[in-house]
RNA sequence: GCUCCUAUCGUCUAGAGGCCUAGGACGGAGCCCUCUCACGGCUUAAACCGGGGUUCGAAUCCCCGUAGGAGCGCCA
């Protein structure tokens, strides 16, 4: 069975690149009847925070990327790591190194001065016939992996293709610090092995770690998983995203007005394609996602296209599904959703003209709250003195009929006909009177949703303004 | 410096040697529709990084440049 994992380190929010990696992992496993798990890589206790852990859960939950297991924390697996390190020490695939940080720093500096690639020189690496330096007093040792000195490592990456690494390029990395805490490259290997991960899907900044991890896995007698290294996402300007430069947490996309499925759809198409298809339901993504069509090169995040996708979702999704998210946005800008028409009805009428839920909430305010005033430009144009007869005719015509879209439509058209005006000359003043601005859903729908009482009151107020 | 990766319209991409006069989508321009804003429909401009090979034939395979990027921690 396919088992994938998303393994973020909790040092910040869940950003867009992480979300895409998580999505790919999730889709690949779930589309094959497999399992997906979330693992928190918190071995760096200096930088890991609970707030970041919470932010990651929150982001994953909003996106609907559910783990099939309770989340796993590496810090709770220290006993297991210690056990494996002991095994490796006993087997001779790892050894203790008594170099101090100062020694290592000096080594690196010298190598860089000689324009060489910095690497551990193996001074504590046991070799047949080699005499190791005397163990210094008072230096707690680190444990290093004894990487094979010869040969090559072949990585068959599902995205990048075959990559060959020479073992001579790889040095003996530290797998346990002097204080006994194991390091990332080691924990990952043990976890992936223990958890039966079949496909490691992660950012391509890890490509260079992979041969080391494969070597450790082999030293442990395990079969390496398949790897898929996903390229990163660049900002719209082609620059790398960072905290300083445009990197946003997924929850900020919620605040901006994205639907979670829409964000997911945009993200899945960023670097992956399925012919010419642009829009996918969650089920389609799961069924169709594969690594044969994932691009190896980095992609830019194009906000315009992301909005387009969001708009497509707003237009096509069942309003009942959108409603809770819409309500969240209404409340966020201080609107009480109870003080107006049914949200599903408002969504139905507004979604054609809104690319974001923020836009929808703002454009729908007049349905839920009394008008705080008119857009002055629109009022000047449509509520001038010459609008007065139109408004009073409307007041009269709308007093009678059933408050249903068809009857309201007929009433407005009737006024235009009677006064010998184009529909626009009647609908626009009416629109500004009702909405406070010259933009709203079709006029009959606007009237209908706003209700008789509010409509007539606002018409009356507009008439006062036009005459006065 | 060394190792590794990447390269098709402005952007996301299709393209598995002939189906390519390089397709789609976003964005742009224009037209139509129209009670506003939109939606929608139609039309249009816009790309194979450069140079060498391989081949009857290359966007596609190989090599070399060039340009971007990643990594080289007792970080992950």
pTM for the structure as a whole = 0.94
Q: What's the pLDDT at A399?
A: 87
Instruction: Tell me the per-residue pLDDT of A420-438, one tens digit each, with 9 for 90 and over.
Output: 999 999 999 999 999 999 9
- The catalytic residue positions of A are 243
A468 confidence band (pLDDT: 50, 70, 90): confident
Q: Which helix (H) or strand (E) holds A40?
A: strand A35-40
Among chain A residues 129 through 168, which have CB within 7 angstroms of nucleic chain B? 142, 160-161, 163-166
Structure tokens at A54: 């919470």
Find the length of chain A: 468
CA A193 remoteness from chain centre: 28
**pLDDT tens, position by position, A280-297:** 999 999 999 999 999 999
A114 touches strand B (CB under 7 A): no
Antiparallel, parallel or unpaired: β A142-145 and A35-40: unpaired
In degrees and rounded to multiples of 5, residue A154 shows phi and psi of: -105, 120
Using one digit for the tens of pLDDT, what is the confidence trace for A157-188? 999 999 999 999 999 999 999 999 999 999 99
Residue A292 CA distance to nucleotide B53 C1' (Å): 29
Report how far apart, in Å, the C-alpha atoms of A70 and of each of A76, A131, A198, A222 are. Answer: 13, 48, 19, 25
Provide the b/e sequence for A133-150 (b: ≥16 CB within 10 Å): eeeeeeeebbbbbbbeee
Nucleotides of B under 7 A from a protein CB: 1-8, 10-16, 23-27, 34-39, 69-76
Q: How far apart are the first and last CA of chain A?
A: 76
Residue A431 contacts residue A445 (beta carbons within 8 Å): no
Q: Is the CB of A324 under 7 A from strand B?
A: no
Report the nucleotide nearest the CA of residue A164, measured to C1': B4
Q: Residue at minimal CA–C1' distance from B7?
A: A297
Whether the complex's predicted ipTM is more than 0.85 is answered with: yes
Q: Whole-number Å distance, CA A366 to C1' B49? A: 54
The dihedral through the CA atoms of A312, A313, A314, A320 has a sign that is positive
Task: For nucleotide B6, give the residue with the nearest CA to its C1'.
Answer: A297
Which tens digit of pLDDT belongs to each residue from A24-42?
Answer: 999 999 999 999 999 999 9
The reply to whether A364 has its C-beta less than 7 Å from any atom of strand B is no
pLDDT higher than threshold 80 for residue A242:
no
Per-residue pLDDT averaged across A296-306, rounded?
95
Q: Show the CA angle centred on residue A170, arms to residues A164 and A172, nearest 5°.
A: 145
Which pLDDT does position A332 carry in this prediction?
97
d(CA A378, CA A351): 22
pLDDT of residue A360: 98
Residue nearest to nucleotide B69 (CA to C1'): A298
> Considering only residues 342-361 of protein chain A, which place a Cβ less than 7 A from any atom of strand B?
352-353
For chain A, the average pLDDT equals 94
Q: Which long-range contacts (CB under 8 A, 24 or more apart) does A422-427 make?
A: A425/A390, A426/A390, A426/A394
User: Does the CB of A121 sit below 7 A from strand B?
Assistant: no
d(CA A263, CA A254): 9
- pLDDT of A286 reads 96
**Distance (Å) from CA A349 to C1' B42?**
26
Å from A236 (CA) to B9 (C1')?
Answer: 17
Q: Alpha-carbon distance A346 to A362, whole Å?
A: 12
Burial classification of residue A74, based on how many CB atoms lie within 10 Å of its CB (0-12 exposed, 13-18 middle, 19 or more buried):
buried
pLDDT, residue A298, reads 94
pLDDT value of residue A237: 86
Predicted confidence (pLDDT) at residue A245 exceeds the cutoff of 80? no
Q: What is the pLDDT of residue A240?
A: 83
A112-124 confidence digits (pLDDT tens): 888 888 899 999 9
Q: Are strands A142-145 and A152-157 parallel, antiparallel or unpaired?
A: unpaired
Q: Provide the token pair at A160.
A: 């990048």
Instruction: Express each pLDDT in A309-359 by its tens digit.
Output: 999 999 999 999 999 999 999 999 999 999 999 999 999 999 999 999 999
Distance from C-alpha of A75 to C-alpha of A218, rounded to nearest angstrom: 24
Distances in Å between the alpha carbon of A179 and those of A151, A182, A191, A277? Answer: 32, 9, 20, 53
Q: How much is the pLDDT for A43?
A: 86
Question: Angle A358-A362-A364 (CA atoms, 0-180°, nearest 5)?
Answer: 115
A177 exposed, middle or buried (CB, 10 Å; 0-12, 13-18, 19+)?
middle
Site of tokens 């001579």: A168
Which residues of chain A between 200 and 259 are close to nucleic strand B, CB under 7 A? 204-209, 231-232, 234, 238, 240
């Amino acid at each position: 069975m396919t088992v994938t994992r998303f393994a973020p380190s909790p040092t910040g929010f869940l950003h867009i690149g992480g979300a895409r990696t998580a999505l790919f992992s999730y889709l690949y496993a779930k589309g094959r009847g497999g399992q997906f798990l979330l693992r928190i890589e918190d071995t760096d206790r200096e930088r890991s925070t609970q707030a970041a852990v919470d932010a990651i859960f929150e982001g994953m939950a909003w996106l609907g990327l559910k783990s099939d297991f309770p989340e796993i924390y590496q810090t709770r697996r220290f006993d297991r790591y210690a056990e494996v390190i002991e095994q490796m020490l006993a087997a001779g695939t790892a050894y203790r190194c008594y170099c101090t940080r100062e020694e290592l720093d000096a080594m690196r500096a010298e190598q860089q001065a000689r324009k060489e690639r910095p690497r551990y020189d193996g001074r504590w690496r046991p070799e047949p016939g080699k005499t190791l330096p005397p163990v210094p007093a008072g230096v707690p040792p680190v444990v290093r992996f004894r990487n094979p000195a010869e040969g090559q490592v072949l990585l068959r990456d599902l995205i990048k293709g075959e990559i060959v690494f020479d073992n001579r390029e790889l040095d003996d990395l530290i797998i346990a610090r002097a204080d006994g805490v194991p390091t990332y490259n080691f924990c990952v290997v043990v976890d992936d092995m223990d958890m039966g991960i079949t496909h490691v899907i992660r950012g391509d900044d890890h490509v260079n770690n992979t041969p080391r991890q494969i070597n450790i896995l082999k030293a442990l007698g395990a079969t390496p998983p398949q790897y898929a290294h996903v390229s990163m996402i660049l900002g719209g300007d082609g620059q790398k995203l960072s905290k300083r430069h445009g990197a946003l947490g997924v929850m900020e996309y919620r605040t901006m007005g994205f639907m979670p499925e829409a964000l997911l759809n945009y993200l899945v198409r960023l670097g992956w394609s399925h012919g010419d298809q642009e829009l996918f339901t969650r089920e389609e993504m799961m069924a169709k996602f594969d690594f044969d069509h994932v691009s190896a090169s980095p992609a830019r995040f194009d906000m315009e296209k992301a909005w387009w996708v969001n708009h497509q979702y707003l237009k096509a999704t069942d309003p009942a599904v959108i409603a809770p998210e819409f309500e969240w946005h209404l409340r966020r800008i201080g609107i009480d959703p109870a003080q107006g028409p049914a949200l599903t009805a408002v969504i139905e009428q507004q979604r054609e003209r809104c690319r974001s839920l923020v836009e929808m909430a703002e454009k729908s305010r007049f349905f839920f709250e009394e008008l705080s005033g008119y857009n002055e430009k629109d009022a000047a144009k449509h509520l001038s003195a010459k609008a007065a007869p139109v408004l009073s005719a409307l007041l009269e015509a709308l007093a009678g009929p059933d408050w249903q879209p068809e009857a309201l439509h007929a009433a407005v058209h009737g006024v235009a006909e009677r006064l010998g005006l184009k529909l626009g000359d009647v609908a626009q003043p009416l629109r500004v009177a009702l909405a406070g601005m010259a933009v709203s859903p079709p006029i009959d729908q606007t009237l209908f949703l706003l209700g008789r009482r509010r409509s007539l009151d606002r018409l009356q107020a507009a008439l006062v303004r036009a005459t006065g």
